[in-house]
Every structure is written in structure tokens, then in C-alpha cells.
Structure 1
Amino acid sequence: MPNHVLLNNIDHKSLRIDTGHGAALGDDVMFTVTFPAEFRSVQAHYPIVFHKDAQGELQPVAMFGFKQGSNLFLDGGRWDATYVPLAIERQPFLIGRDGEQLMVHIDLDHPRVRNDRGEMLFRDQGGTTDYLDRITSVLMTLHDGLGGTPAFMEAMLRHDLIESFTLDVELDDGSLNRLVGFYTINEERLRALDAAALDELHRAGHLEPVYMVVASVSRFRDLIARMNRRHAAGH
């Protein structure tokens, strides 16, 4: 169970954060949430699809694998991509509210939290380290970006651009894998939008992210290749 507390330089002055990568650090996940302003960076490596959250609301996610607990970008202690989505990079921190003010919180039970090694959060005099400053910036970018997601999703649904899909993957060894429960952009309906609809999406800043989602579909080929390599290696 997460143990979220408000970060402060008294109780947490000796905490360190393991910034490496690996399954033991919580990185072995099938996907993570992303947001329209991040799509350009994400689509260079990962398919972007849509998934219903616990409240039944559609949200964009970056895909790392085809089954729960499988991240095909993890290679031992290395993340095999030049961009790691911010929702992964920010671990074990999160934004919380203290009244109207946004504050940095930390999950003390997260496997990245240590006392013996890793990045320090506070200097000896109590000030924040460059690492914590960077994380705070990541958290604010993530907070602002996720705040723009509902308007993007509303526009997608209003123009009937979201459709469910099933992906059947046959690996080189003959094994079959099926990806279900995810949604994507209906490219036929996107191409059929009239000039007024396209102009509306463009003015709202939604048009570029839509095309980034469409472009990202080609990254499924890379995921399949990674899964084939993993199966061939016996993992």
C-alpha cells in the first residue's frame, strides 16, 4: 500500500532516491499515463492508445508491453529508450494539495526510497538539491499536462474519433497474444472531418496530438520485435 506524506526537509533530510531502472524498482508495468503535450516525445518510442481508468474515464497511455507486469523496454537495469515518460520519471513523488497550494508528496513505501544510496533530496543546510528541483519541475509539467487531457478526450469523443481495437500478435515461435481493452483513433473518421471540424481541433491545440497518436501506432512493430527477442532468449 502506498504511504503518501508531504515532503519536508526535517523528516526526510536523509532520504535518498534510487533513480535506476528495473522490475524491483516498480518499472515492470505494461503502460503508464501520458498527456497530449507529451505525445510528440512519447510517440518516438511507444504506441499511444487509450484505456479506461478506475472511474471508467478514457485516458491516453504509453504502451510498454502486451500483458500486465511486462515492460519490454526493461533490459535488466536499463531502460532501452532515450525518452522515459514523465509519469515513470516522477516516481516516487506526486503532487498533492495543501489548501489551494500544490505541494510535493512522496510515497515512503516505494522501492526507490532508500537511506543508503541514491540521489539526495536536501542539502545539509536544508535547501533542495538539483535533483529535487528537477523532480518538482517534472511534477508540475505532469500536473498541468494531465489537466489538459479531459478537454482533449471530450473533443475526440464529440467528433466520434475513438474506437476500440483488438490486436492479435503471432510471435515467431507460433505463440499467440491478444491485446484487448484498449482504444485508438479511427483514422477513417479523422480523414472524413470537414474543414470546420479540423479548424476547431487545430485552434484548440488538439490536431497535432491526434496525429501523434496515429503516428505512434507504427511503434507496435517495435513492441512485437522486442517480444520476439525476449521469447527467443527464453525470458
Structure 2
Amino acid sequence: MANAVLLNNIDHKDLRVDMRRVRGLGDEVMFAPTFPTEFRNLQAHYPIVFAKTPNGTSFQPVALFGFREGQNLFLESGSWDVTYLPLAIERQPFLIGTAEGEPVIHIDLDSPRTGVDAGEPLFLEHGGTTAALERISSVLLTLHDGVRAVPAFVAMLVELDLLESFVLDIELPDGSQNRLAGFYTINEDRLAQLDGTALERLHRAGHLEAIYMAVASLSNFRALIERVNRVDAADR
């Protein structure tokens, strides 16, 4: 459980956050949640798929980093090795909350990124915010706005029956078989068969571009498989 507290320049004046992307700091995750307006940046590097929400009643778009729990194939050589870092990853260990209706920043004091001995300072000597904290504030606000758009986007995908489950079987160089299952993608055949009215609704709602970005992102599965093959070969 996160030990999230409201960030302030009195209690946390000496707090520092390790912004590196290295193993052991919490980035060893198979995927991260995302939102439609981030798809354009993500689609150059990551497959964008959909996962069932924890209560099983809806779907959440996610950027995929690996093929099993705890596997992040983008953490290589002590860094995140592509140019775009998903915002849900970048914001760690910060969270957004509200106070009197206004967004505020919380921080997880139990995160391995959080401490006083090393990392980026959050506050200046006389209480102002550092560039690092200003960046995090921008990231959190973008995430806050983006996540609010997800339910309407997903609801229209479900209404138009555009999501389908898929299974991806991968054979590693050593001959072992691996299977990715439990995720959903855009059904391209159904998308192509939508009539003008449905396409206009998607366009007017601002969803059409995100749909095509998600479809285009699936070409990244080839590169992701190459990554897992390299890791497997290096481990042998």
C-alpha cells in the first residue's frame, strides 16, 4: 500500500526523488495505464491494448512493456531506452488528489524513489518549487485530464463492438513457448465496416484518431518480440 501524503514545502523541504529509470525503483511493470490523447506519442514505441478494469465491468487502455508480470523490456542498460516515457510511469512516486475542489500533489513516502540522501530536490531553499516538481505538476494535470476522457472513449468502443480479445503465441530462440492473453484490441474488420453515421459520431467525439493510433501501435509487437528474444539470448 502506498503511504501517500499531501506534499508541502515545510514537512518535505529536504525531500528528494530519484528520477532515474533503473531496476529496483518500481518500473518493473508489464504495462501502464494510458488515455486517448497520449496514444499519438505512445504508438511510435509501444503496443496499445486494452485490459479489463479490476471490477471486470469495463476496459482500460494500456501501453504494453512486456509479456509477463514484472517484465519491462524497455529497462535496458540502466535507462529507459526509447525517447517517450509514458506519463503514468513518469509521475511515480507522485499522485494527484483534490483539496477544496482543486488538484493537489501527493507523494508516496514508502516509494523506493523517495528519500533525503539522493535524487532531485523538490523545493528551493526558500520554499519555491524546483523545475523537477514543476514538471511533475504538469504531468499529473495532463494525466488527470486524460483519465477523465477514458470512460466515454471506452463506452463508445463497447457500444460499437470494436473490442475483441486476442492471444499472441511467442516462440523464443530456445524453443520455449510463451503466450500473451487476457488483453483486447480494436477489431479492424468491424472498424472498416462502420457506416458513415458511426464514423461521424466517433469523429465528433474526438475518438477516431485515437482508434487509428491504437491500431497502428500493434506493429510494435514485432519489436517487442525482438526485445524479449534479445533478453532471452543474453540470459542463456
Q: Shorter-normalised TM-score: what interval?
A: over 0.9
Measured in 2, the distance between the counterparts of 1:83 and 1:140 equals 18
How many angstroms does 1:76 deviate by? 3.8
Superposition RMSD in Å? 0.9
Measured in 2, the distance between the counterparts of 1:18 and 1:160 equals 43
Measured in 1, the distance between the counterparts of 2:175 and 2:77 equals 26
The equivalent residue for 1:71 is 72
Measured in 2, the distance between the counterparts of 1:172 and 1:184 equals 27
Equivalence map 1:122-137=2 (5 Å): 122-137=123-138
The equivalent residue for 1:45 is 45
How many angstroms does 1:98 deviate by? 1.5
Equivalence map 1:1-235=2 (5 Å): 1-56=1-56, 57-234=58-235
Measured in 2, the distance between the counterparts of 1:76 and 1:29 equals 17
**Uncovered stretches (5+) of structure 2, i.e. residues with no partner:** none
Measured in 2, the distance between the counterparts of 1:134 and 1:84 equals 13
How many angstroms does 1:172 deviate by? 2.2
Measured in 1, the distance between the counterparts of 2:76 and 2:50 equals 26
Measured in 1, the distance between the counterparts of 2:4 and 2:77 equals 28
How many angstroms does 1:102 deviate by? 1.2
- Please state whether the residue corresponding to 1:83 is helix, strand or coil: coil
Matched pairs, number: 235
How many angstroms does 1:53 deviate by? 2.2
Measured in 2, the distance between the counterparts of 1:141 and 1:55 equals 25
Measured in 1, the distance between the counterparts of 2:9 and 2:52 equals 37
- Displaced runs of 4+ in structure 1, greater than 6 A? none
Measured in 1, the distance between the counterparts of 2:222 and 2:3 equals 38
Measured in 1, the distance between the counterparts of 2:67 and 2:184 equals 14
Measured in 2, the distance between the counterparts of 1:10 and 1:194 equals 58
Can you list the C-alpha shifts for 1:115-151, whole angstroms capped at 9, x where unaligned? 1111110011101111101100000000000000101
Partner amino acid for 1:119? E
Q: What TM-score, normalized by structure 2, do the two folds share?
A: 0.98
How many angstroms does 1:100 deviate by? 1.1
Measured in 1, the distance between the counterparts of 2:22 and 2:79 equals 7
How many angstroms does 1:97 deviate by? 1.5
How many angstroms does 1:175 deviate by? 1.1
Measured in 2, the distance between the counterparts of 1:55 and 1:26 equals 24
- Please state whether the residue corresponding to 2:106 is helix, strand or coil: strand
Q: What TM-score, normalized by structure 1, do the two folds share?
A: 0.98
Partner amino acid for 2:59? L
Measured in 1, the distance between the counterparts of 2:107 and 2:93 equals 6
